[in-house]
Amino acid sequence: MGHCDDSLRKIGRAIFAYQEENDYHNPAGLQELVDLDLITSWELVCPAASFPVGESSYEYRGDDLYADVLPDMILAYDRQPNHKGRRNILFADGRVERPPEKYITEIIAKDNECRRQLQLTEKPLK
Q: DSSP letter at 38?
A: S
Cα 47 from Cα 41, distance rounded (Å)? 12
Is the overall model pTM greater than 0.85, yes or no?
yes
20's CB contacts (< 8 A; 6+ apart) are none
The pLDDT of residue 15? 96
Half-sphere exposure of 51 (CA within 13 A, CB side): 22
d(CA 17, CA 106): 29
**64 vs 108: CA distance, rounded Å:** 16
Question: Count of CB atoms within 10 A of residue 8's CB?
Answer: 27
Question: Using CA atoms, how far apart are residues 15 and 17, in angstroms rounded to an integer?
Answer: 5
Cβ partners under 8 Å of residue 80, min gap 6: 49, 50, 57, 87
> What are the pLDDT digits (tens) for 56-115?
889 999 999 887 788 889 999 998 877 888 999 999 999 999 999 999 999 999 999 999
Q: Which residues contact 17 (CB under 8 A, 6 or more apart)?
A: 38
The tens digit of pLDDT for each residue in 8-37 reads 999 999 999 999 999 999 999 999 999 999
pLDDT of residue 51: 67
Indicate the domain borders of the chain.
Answer: 4-117
- How does DSSP classify residue 93? T
